[in-house]
A and B are shown apart, each in its own frame.
Chain A
Amino acid sequence: MADLRINEAGLKRDERLEWLKLFGLSSPAILMVLVVLVLPVGWLFYVSFIGANGEFSLENYERMINRKSYARIFTTTFQISFLTTGLCILIGYPLAYFLSQLPPRLANLGLITVLLPFWTSLLVRTYAWLVLLQKRGLVNDWAISLGLWDEPIKIVHNMTGTLIGMVHIMLPFLILPVYGAMRAIDLDLMKAASNLGANPRRAFWGVFFPLTLPGLMAGSLMVFILCLGFFVTPAVLGGGKVIMVSMKIVSNIELFVNWGAASALGVVLLVLTVVILWIASKFLNLETATRGGGH
């Protein structure tokens, strides 16, 4: 043992080399995300601070504050996002609960009704609602023949239609994580609660519901974030009357070729999303939230 730190340099070099090789496996993915996403979005960020005269200016952001139309767009966006999330919780939670109480075999069958729309193209589902809700569509026909209302009423190309479509499209994103959380609950806990004298209602709200909260939060977060940036469904079912932020971004580019305005809106949208995710990450593990979407 002449040298106490024998082979140290070589081993350190090997360590670094191995790390580089392993990390290198991720490099194509990193490169792709950089080229397609990070750099362009960075550029949009830069453009949002350039005024019409080509110099640094806050005019794109000032416009957002000063113009009434922008305020309306943001109000609409939040309105739709909150309403959709709320409706998804109201509709999705009982269904998830129902499915979680079934024996696994039956539950899997029931889950297909959730997964089928989940996998089906967004555009196809939006189109289906357009067809169903139109003036001479199925919903109006049936409602009239059932005597719910006399005349065909307008339920599409407005807020109602947009909400119906959005809720339908977002439901699986809420149901899947909530269902997962419910399945993970140890039913003995409920038994214990009722043995200890809790009545069914108290056992549910005191024991069961709190345990499903992480799943519910994750699902709601997912739905809300997706709603904020949604484009296709409101664009088709809103009929031009419901304008959300992402639609304004698109029209800024397609109609007015105003990159500055579009970028500024995009930056605000992104910041909103990131802030919400950041706040949420303080309360729950985001990996479970994203897994719901990838399942």
Chain B
Amino acid sequence: MLKWWTSPATETQVTHGQRLWLYVISVIIMILLVTPTLIVVPMSFSDSQYLEFPPENWSMRWYQFYFGSEEWMRATWTSFKAAFLTMLVATPVGVLAAYGLHASKVKFVRATFVLMLTPMMVPVVLIAIGAFYAYVQMGILYTIMGLVLAHSVLALPLVVIVTGSALKSYDMSQEEAARSLGAPRWKAFLTVTLPQIRFAVVTSALLSFLTSFDEVVVAMFVSGGDNPTLTRNMFNALRDQIDPTIASISTIMILITTFMMVLAQMFGQDKRRK
């Protein structure tokens, strides 16, 4: 231990002891990053109206309330449906676009790429009210379809970036090899390219799902009527008061997110030895 203390920590011969302040600060920051979110979990099992930590009496009452509420359940179902459909729309559309842009290295590619990143750069509020207006004109306001369309646009840049960078590190001569061996281009893509960028595709799909599932602002405007999303209802509830039900919903959402992260990791590691 003492040895470690005086041993050099960097290439410039600063010892660990001299850098203790850095370690302490960093650990504190890491704790501050994680705990605020996680502390909601035990609180959600509190019996009290006021969220306490640690809870004096444990109970499932807020979960019972959540699962018993038809309104919350409907919103949850809407969110899942929208997220799932967004995943199904944004992933193939984005992967195709990324491939098309990658393979046709000519005119307009740069401009198209920038166009596909705009959903990331334009303030979400602007997209939300724009879509709101457009949907009124098209008569698809408060429909799942409209919501999925808007969320897919938000997820598109993520898919294009993730898949695009996977394609960049992929050796396109493999596809040429497949074509020289007798495969039409689409078949070469399906049998040779796609299996090798599958990790990026899966990651894209999960990101699309989460993008939609967590999205608030656009949902505030274009979801509603019979189809409000979970986040829209949560947001409205937050503006009024601190509803303990939200703690239980938050816990469930954290679970879903963690599940997604684990999923992404699993697909990432799978057979990908180097």
Contacts and interface: CB of A to CB of B under 8 A. Distances in A.
Do A and B touch directly, given a CB cutoff of 8 Å in the complex? yes
Interface of A: 18-19, 22-26, 28-30, 32-33, 35-41, 43-44, 91, 94-95, 97-99, 101, 110, 113-117, 119-132, 134, 136-138, 168, 171, 187-188, 190-191, 193-194, 198-200, 203-204, 225, 228-229, 231-232, 235-236, 246, 249-250, 253, 259, 262-263, 266, 269-270, 273-274, 277, 290-291, 293-294
Please give me the 6 A-B residue pairs with the lowest Cβ-Cβ distance, nearest first: A229-B123, A40-B130, A25-B100, A22-B104, A98-B26, A29-B97
Interface string B4-24: 000001111110000000110
9 contacts: A29-B97, A30-B115, A43-B133, A123-B214, A134-B242, A225-B121, A266-B129, A270-B126, A294-B207
Contacts of B214: 121-123
Nearest to B41: A128
Nearest to B103: A22
Contacts, number: 259
Contacts of B73: none
A107 to B, nearest CB: 11
Contacts of A30: 97, 112, 115-116
B64 interface: no
A49 to B, nearest CB: 15
A117 B34 contact: yes
**Residue among A94, A98, A128, A236 with most chain B CB within 10 A:** A128
B106 interface: yes
A119 B127 contact: no
A83 to B, nearest CB: 17
Interface residues of B, number: 90
Contacts of A190: 10-12
A187 B254 contact: no
Contacts of B217: 231-232, 246
B93 A32 contact: yes
Contact of A95 (B30, B132, B207): B30
Interface string B81-114: 0000000000001101101110110111000100
A25 B96 CA distance: 5
Contacts of A110: 30
Contacts of A191: 11-12
Nearest to A272: B123
